[in-house]
């Protein structure tokens, strides 16, 4: 298994995985009735920009060209503070492993590689909002529960 940043040739698989991930967790059942083509176009534009840029890092675990698992990370810059060097923190999202490959430690190996990357670049911390189903996975991989952030949702 190879763990690496995503490359342009991974985009079709990443799009399909995002679609499948969303369908798998869609309790309303409405997402499957939306247009894959519309989603594909929007997601492709995002992924092309993310892979080319330096703000998003999409990590994949693959074997023989097949992406088995992925984790998306976004670097969040902080406002500098006097008396110390300021490093970004990492927002982690879209953590997904193909169903047939779950429970085999692939996601944990992917997290370990990300942790090494975080240490190497001296990023301050990693934050993730886990689903209830994934809390044990994160705890097994040295994550701690944090106090929930406050949210604001503008009215439409």
Whole-angstrom distance, CA of residue 10 vs CA of residue 3: 13
For the chain, the straight-line distance linking the first and the last C-alpha, in angstroms and rounded, comes to 45
Whole-angstrom distance, CA of residue 40 vs CA of residue 153: 27
Number of domains in the chain: 1
Residue 52 lies in a domain: yes
Here the tokens at position 126 are: 């990693």
Domain CATH number, residue 88:
3.40.630.30
Per-residue pLDDT tens for 4-36? 999 999 999 999 999 999 998 888 888 888 999
Residue 76 lies in a domain: yes
Here the tokens at position 115 are: 């942790």
Per-residue pLDDT tens for 131-151? 888 999 999 999 998 877 778
Whole-angstrom distance, CA of residue 78 vs CA of residue 90: 11
Segment (H or E) for 59: strand 56-63
Per-residue pLDDT tens for 120-135? 999 999 999 998 889 9
Residue 153 lies in a domain: no
Segment (H or E) for 61: strand 56-63
Whole-angstrom distance, CA of residue 151 vs CA of residue 140: 27
Residue 71 lies in a domain: yes
Whole-angstrom distance, CA of residue 143 vs CA of residue 126: 9
Range of 9's domain?
2-140
Predicted confidence (pLDDT) at residue 44 exceeds the cutoff of 90 = yes
Residue 133 lies in a domain: yes
């Amino acid at each position: 298994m190879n763990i690496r940043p995503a490359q342009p040739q991974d985009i079709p698989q990443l799009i399909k995985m995002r679609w499948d991930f969303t369908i798998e967790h869609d309790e309303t059942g409405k997402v499957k009735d939306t247009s894959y083509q519309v989603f594909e176009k929007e997601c492709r534009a995002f992924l092309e920009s993310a892979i080319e840029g330096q703000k998003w890092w999409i990590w994949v675990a693959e074997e023989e060209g097949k992406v088995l698992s992925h984790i998306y990370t976004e670097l969040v810059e902080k406002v500098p503070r006097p008396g110390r060097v300021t490093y970004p923190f990492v927002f982690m999202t879209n953590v997904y492993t193909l169903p047939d490959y779950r429970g085999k430690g692939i996601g944990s190996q992917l997290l370990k590689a990300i942790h090494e990357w975080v240490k190497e670049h001296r990023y301050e911390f990693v934050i993730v909002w886990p689903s209830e189903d994934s809390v044990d996975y994160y705890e097994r991989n040295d994550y701690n529960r944090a106090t929930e952030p406050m949210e604001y949702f503008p009215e439409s």
